[in-house]
Amino acid sequence: MDRVTVYLGLGSNLGCRERNLAECVRRLSGQPPSNQDEIAAPDGSFKPGDLHLVQSSATYETEPWGITGQGPFLNLVLEMSTALPPEKLLAGVKGLESHLGRKPGERYGPRLIDIDILLYGEEIVDLPDLQIPHPRLHQRAFVLIPLAEIAPELIHPVLGISIGDLAVGVEGNDGVRKWSERG
């Protein structure tokens, strides 16, 4: 299979949010755990070469979406390339979330790590457990702002609108702040 460009949205609002995101990026890239005492779990690690990191957005601090009575999130978007089919990518992402400590909980509730497959090339996938593009991508400022930072001209394969234009018009974009600008 040829390699395809994928975009993944990462978020964390529990524990050391920065460290959670950094470790997730390391593991998505097929690198060994940062803690040398930890053994890589086969169900939660991508093998070297499965995913290649092309670029990352800055990290943004955002208010929670869906359930507001929880701490703010740190979010970022990764552009990666892969030869994995969408279903295997999803299985790897879910395994990695679990391995990094994510526990089942309330939908939109607090979480140690969250990884969403936002886009998989120009493909449209509609399976019971996987919809690509992410079905709420166009409604979420916390994803659109970092995605527009690295791919503003990218066209949403269903809506036919650029990510940059979606980001400008999305509700709540004023609540997405670069983490380095926090005060």
pLDDT tens digits, residue range 133-167? 998 999 999 999 999 999 999 999 999 999 999 99
Instruction: Examine the pLDDT at 114 and tell me if it is beyond 60.
Output: yes
Give a yes or no: residue 81 inside a domain.
yes
- Residue given tokens 């970092």 in the structure block: 146
The whole domain housing 34 covers 4-136
Give a yes or no: residue 178 inside a domain.
no
Give a yes or no: residue 80 inside a domain.
yes
Query: What CATH number should be reported for the domain holding residue 40?
Result: 3.30.70.560
- What is the domain count for the chain? 1
Give a yes or no: residue 121 inside a domain.
yes
Torsion of CA 85, 89, 90, 93, to 10 degrees: 180
In this prediction, residue 117 has a pLDDT band, given cuts at 50, 70 and 90, of very high
Give a yes or no: residue 8 inside a domain.
yes
Model confidence over 37-66: pLDDT tens digits?
A: 454 444 556 777 889 999 999 999 988 877
Instruction: Examine the pLDDT at 97 and tell me if it is beyond 70.
Output: yes
Give a yes or no: residue 144 inside a domain.
no
Q: CA–CA separation, 134 vs 119, rounded Å?
A: 7
Give a yes or no: residue 142 inside a domain.
no
Q: CA–CA separation, 7 vs 29, rounded Å?
A: 13
Give a yes or no: residue 94 inside a domain.
yes
